[in-house]
Amino acid sequence: MQDKILFTGPIPRLNAHVGGSITCTEPSPQVYLLSFSSPPDNRLTPAFCAALLSALDIIEASYPTGVVVTTSSITKFYSNGLDLDLAIKTEGFTEDSLYPLFRRFLTYPMPTVALLNGHAFAGGFMLAMHHDYRVFSGNRGYMCINELEFGAPLLPPMSGIFRAKCRPDVYRTMVLEAKRWDAKAALEAGIIDRTDGLEGVMALVQEKTLTTKGKTGIYGMLKAEMYREQVALLSATGKDVVKFGDVMTPEKKRKAELKDRVARAKI
């Protein structure tokens, strides 16, 4: 029997991204499963971020306190991260779209679980890490911070979540080796909590009585205090926002000065 659909919200079409939708079902009482589909690979566009934020608002405002689970209706990808070119060209993308989504999950007043039924790369991995728990669906997919491979810096709010939630050796391997973590390796490293899919999510919810955790109203406040440094990074505004250009421009200047210095030394 198919789970009852509580609501569905659109993800508007944007450039090469064909749009899509987010559907909320309730596979168990007070367990709200958000299934998103934005072909081809659930990129974190402004439209995607806005739609997911709206879904979180609807659950908090309109339904009993419980647990929010996110997953993908595209079985190959949980999320393939940002459209980097779009992210760089869209004014205010990080501070107006991406970081508010990360912050909302990090401080959400109910437990959150990322059900990873496909690849979670770069920004998709970051999104999963801003959830409270992560569950792989069998051996399907990899998690990877692959900025090293395509030559993009990690901005402070992007790397901060891994620093806050991962062991130092795991963080080093993740960033400086661009390791692709399969289910087994991710579980051993403490990145994920289980590898048994939706059944595992339900077992996690039951074992930890997660549907009751938000009923006193301070669950989100406790998380905000736990991760206060990351919340501060995600909440920066104005001149305090670090953008891709702010990181790359000084590096280009440093390399130019290095080249000039070596040339003048006549070595």
| HEC readout, the chain | CCCCEEEEEEECCECCECCEEEEEEEEECCEEEEEEECCCCCCCCHHHHHHHHHHHHHHHHHCCCCEEEEEECCCCEEECCCCHHHHHHCCCHHHHHHHHHHHHHHCCCCCEEEEECCEEECHHHHHHHCCCEEEEECCCCCEECCHHHHCCCCCHHHHHHHHHHCCHHHHHHHHHCCCCECHHHHHHCCCCCECEHHHHHHHHHHHCCHHHCCCCCCHHHHHHHHCHHHHHHHCCCHHHCCCHHHHHHHHHHHHHHHHHHHHHHCC
Q: Give pLDDT, residue 148.
A: 82
- pLDDT tens, residue order, the chain (267 aa): 468 899 999 999 876 667 899 999 999 999 999 999 999 999 999 999 999 999 999 999 999 999 999 999 998 999 999 988 888 888 889 999 999 999 999 999 999 999 999 999 999 999 999 999 999 997 779 999 998 888 888 999 999 999 999 999 999 999 999 999 999 999 999 999 999 999 999 999 999 999 999 999 999 999 999 999 999 999 999 888 888 777 778 888 888 989 888 988 876
Q: By the 8 A CB rule, do 94 and 58 touch?
A: no
| pLDDT score recorded for residue 227 | 98
Amino acid letter, residue 27: P
pLDDT at 16: 64
The whole-number pLDDT of residue 251 equals: 82
The reply to whether omega before 40 is within 30° of 0 (cis) is yes
CA distance 231 to 251: 27
Residue whose pair of structure tokens reads 């989100």 in the numeric block: 220
